[in-house]
Amino acid sequence: MPIAQTPPPPYYAVIFTSLRTEGENGYAAMSNRMVELATQQPGYLGYESAREGVGITVSYWESLEAIRDWKAQTEHLFAQQAGRDRWYSAYKVRICLVDRDYGFEV
């Protein structure tokens, strides 16, 4: 997965940190569907994800309103409940304003 190509700041980052339960239980299919849906949401800018023990997914958004709309999206609400019921033993969501970014590419 490449590094997300975000616009110049300001924009927002939603950091989702999680610990998984044992077993697959349909997680991969739902995860893929959530990425597909998120990319269709107004205000979506991209995401990055990694998992080695602790999973960290960072999604980028134009505004707090776009984040609220994504949180309230019907299929996403279902996935959130399924996550609490089946896929995660713990999780935390952090919402941050990105006011500066920088980097380099080879």
Structural domain contains residue 4:
no
pLDDT tens figures, 81-103: 999 999 999 999 999 999 999 99
CA-to-CA dists, residue 3 to 14, 38, 82, 104, angstroms? 15, 17, 28, 11
Beta bridge partners of 88: 20
* Predicted local distance difference test score (pLDDT) of residue 106: 74
Q: How far apart are CA 58 and CA 49, in angstroms?
A: 6
The CATH number of whichever domain residue 74 belongs to comes to 3.30.70.100
Structural domain contains residue 15:
yes
Considering the entire predicted model, what is its pTM?
Answer: 0.92
pLDDT tens figures, 2-56: 899 999 999 999 999 999 999 888 999 999 999 999 999 999 999 999 998 899 9
Number of domains within the chain: 1
In the sheet that holds 11-20, the strands lie side by side as 44-52, 54-61, 11-20, 88-98
Q: Name all contacts of 50-57 with Cβ < 8 Å and 24+ positions apart.
A: 51/20, 53/19, 54/17, 54/18, 54/19, 55/16, 55/17, 55/18, 55/19, 55/20, 56/15, 56/16, 56/17, 56/18, 57/15, 57/16, 57/18
Q: Please give the residue range of the domain that contains residue 56.
A: 11-98
Structural domain contains residue 106:
no
Structural domain contains residue 105:
no
